[in-house]
Structures are given as structure tokens and as C-alpha cells.
Amino acid sequence: MKNKEIMDVPPSTAFKVVDVPDPFREVFERRGGQGTFIGPSEKDSPWVPFGENAAIRHLAFDVSNNVFSNVLWIKKPGVIGTHYHRGRIVMICLEGSARYLEYDWVAYPGGFIQEVPGEAHTLVTEHPQGTKLFGWMQGAIDFYDENAQFVQTADVWWFINHYETYCRENDIPINPQLYI
Ligand SMILES: [Fe+2]
């Protein structure tokens, strides 16, 4: 016998707005945040160059948690430098393919990647069309050159500055939806 208490199908398929009872609605309205939406247009968020062969489409900045989200586009076969993570990352491959020189797997569209603090690795794509990777990232990323010399830290402040500098230089309005 199946336990009827356990939901194994959605409880409603009604195509309607349901007014969910929330005992803390008033508190939420005073103190709560708001979800955001970034459409696919470059008006919502432009592709900002990241070196010669890559661009970043910024999607979210959360300064309290040092969280940043974006789509990284590597346009043709190439390398994004070796980096060391101080936080957790999740990524999904959207187009093309990508891998790390340090691991034995290749991410194709739909592939899901998690990275943890303390990992250091070198991102490459060998796909003729490069790759697009959606990422939700927490914590600083330290970049190193090929001689293992530290170059720069990219954290939420770096990502905000990357986005805002490009917008300023190109007369693109800053989109408040990026700030969560
Ligand atoms: Fe990484």
C-alpha cells in the first residue's frame, strides 16, 4: 500500500494563481527581497569581452554572499587560465563542450559540473564552436599564470566592476535586476 501522505504527483494542475496562506506576509513585504528576471536580449545584459576569445554575460550579483552568476562563452577552441576556487561552483554546459585538463570527463550540453573550495584546474574547450557554460558561483576565484604565479582574484566585486565598466563605456544602462 502506498502512503497517501507522500506526494508523488503535483497536487494541482489548475492553470490559476493560488493565494497561498502566509502567516509572515506582512514581514515579507517589509523585509523580503524580490526575485529577478534577465531576458535573453543584450539589452537585459550584454556580452562583456573577457580576453580575445571569451565573453561573460552577467546574470546576478549577491554582495552579501560573494555570489555571482553568468554565462561564460568561449568562442573557439581555447583556454581559460588556471584558477583556484575558494567557494562552491555549479555549472551547466549549454553549448559546445568544455573540460578541465586535470579531469577525465568532457561536459556537453546538459552536463552538470560542481566545483568545491580548494580545487585548482584549467578550463579548456576543443569544440570548433567553443562552449557556453552557465555558472552559479560562490567565493573568490584566484587566477594563476602558466608558471603558477598569482595574477588576480575574481570575486563578486571583480564581476560587478567588469559588468559596470563595460556598460559605462558603451552607454548601456545598468540593469538593477542583476543585483540580488
Ligand atoms: Fe573552476
Q: Kindly give the distance from the C-alpha atom of residue 112 to the centroid of ligand 1, in angstroms, as a whole number.
A: 13
Give the separation between CA 105 and CA 84, rounded to whole angstroms.
19
Domains and CATH numbers, the chain: 47-178 (2.60.120.10)
Please give the model's pTM, rounded to 2 decimal places.
0.93
Q: Kindly give the distance from the C-alpha atom of residue 23 to the centroid of ligand 1, in angstroms, as a whole number.
A: 41
Per residue, the 3-state secondary structure of 32-66, as one string, reads CCCCCCCCCCCCCCCEEECCCCEEEEEEEEECCCC
Q: Kindly give the distance from the C-alpha atom of residue 169 to the centroid of ligand 1, in angstroms, as a whole number.
A: 29
The secondary element (H helix, E strand) that includes residue 27 is helix 25-31
Give the rounded percent of residues in the chain with a pLDDT score beyond 70: 98
Q: Kindly give the distance from the C-alpha atom of residue 128 to the centroid of ligand 1, in angstroms, as a whole number.
A: 21
Task: Give the count of beta carbons closer than 10 Å to the beta carbon of residue 5.
Answer: 5
pLDDT tens column, 104-130: 999 999 999 999 999 999 999 999 999
**Helix, strand or coil, per DSSP, at residue 35:** coil
Residue 68: name the closest of 167, 140, 131 by CA. 140
